[in-house]
Structure formats: structure tokens, C-alpha cells
Amino acid sequence: MTPTNNAGLHLADFSLDALQCSEKGYGFAEFRQLPKARQLRWPDDVLEQWVFDHAGHDPFLNDYGEIDLSGIDWQVETLPVEDFVAMPTGPSDGDAIECYEADPDHSIAVRKHGVHMGVKLCWETHGTWKRWPIVLDRDLINPGDQGLQLVEGRTRVGVLRGRMLRGQPIAERHLVWIGRPSKRSAT
């Protein structure tokens, strides 16, 4: 997919930058210093999980390519577990949550090295994830829509749903990054 011509910054505008930073070996540390990335003024965790990790991922480009990323403000919020039961993800990866839900213990067990160290411990101790998923106000995806949509964290939400279905301990509330329409763009 080629960069969009619409005003603002879009996911495809970062595809080549993310690839080059990954291939050079400097990774996210270099990517976050690029002028376009700094222009977003996003929390590093959101920038890394969504833009750096997925700018070249076709399903993400299909589902979120039209969104002006510069029109999103981010906050950490807590959501009750019930909100995740029916929360959709993008149509291109629409069945991903259910795949992880089917075997949550496996999804936890394979995440034990590098940045994933402590994932199992977080689930066992706190009944929640180690790293906060990325969620969008659906109005950003399709103006006029209400509710929230999971952008990144399909494994985490699948594990949550699977543990809930199996009667395994889970927290009543969970931290997430929520992107909402920017107040900067409204003025």
C-alpha cells in the first residue's frame, strides 16, 4: 500500500520508516526520533505497538489506513472485563481474538522471553496483561459509530476471554490505551 494523499499522517506514511529502522538494527529507538513520529506526540508505548510494529502490516493498513493519526489523543483508562467480551477488532484480523481465546494457556506459555518475561506472572498474580492494549473510539474509524474497537492486543484480549470462559482468575478491570478524537483538531 502506498502512502495516502489525504492531509494528516496515516499508517502507510510510516511503513518505509519502520522497515528501515528495523533493518538497520536501531529499531524503535531510532523510529521514535523521526520527525513524523515526533509530530504525532503519542506515548511511546502506543507509537511502538501500533505504528512501528504494524505500519507495514497489510491487515492494519486495510483496517486503519484512512485514519488521520494526527487527529488522535491518547489516555490510559480502565475498562471492566465485560467491555472486552464483545469488543471487535479490525475486520482483516476479525477471527484472531477467538483463536487466542481457544487456548489461553498456550498463548501465555509461549510468551516467556525478552519483552515477554513476566507475562505469565502478571496473569497469575493480577489476572491481567503486562502491557496495555491499544483501543480506539469507533468514531475515528467510521464517523458516527459508537463504542470501542481493539486495534492491538488481540492475543491479550483472547487470553482474557479464554481465562474467563475457563473460570480462571481475571481482574474485574483492565488498563488500556484509548485513542479518542483529538481536541487539538477540533479547535
SS (H, E, C) the chain: CCCCCCCCCCHHHHHHHHHHHHHHCCHHHHHCCCHHHHHHCCCHHHHHHHHHHHCCCHHHHHHHCCCCHHHEEEEEEEEEHHHHHCCCECHHHCCHHHHHHHCHHHHHHCCCCHHHCCHHHHHHHHCCCCCCCEEEEHHHCCCCCCCEEEEECHHHHHHHHHHHHHCCCCCCEEEEEEEEECHHHHC
Q: What is the mean pLDDT of residues 62-69?
A: 96
pLDDT of 25 higher than 90: no
Mean pLDDT of 177-183: 95
Please check the confidence at residue 78 and state whether its pLDDT lies above 50. yes
**Domain boundaries along the sequence of the chain:** 11-70, 72-186
Mean pLDDT of all residues in 127-137: 97
**So what's the pLDDT on residue 93?**
86
- pLDDT for 5 equals 47
Q: How confident is the model at residue 26 (pLDDT cuts 50, 70, 90)?
A: confident
What percent of the chain lies above the pLDDT cut of 70? 95
The reported pLDDT for the residue numbered 114 is 86
Q: Is the pLDDT of residue 186 over 90?
A: no
Q: Is the pLDDT of residue 158 over 90?
A: yes
Q: What is the mean pLDDT of residues 61-90?
A: 96
pTM score above 0.75: yes
Tell me the pLDDT of the chain averaged across its residues: 93
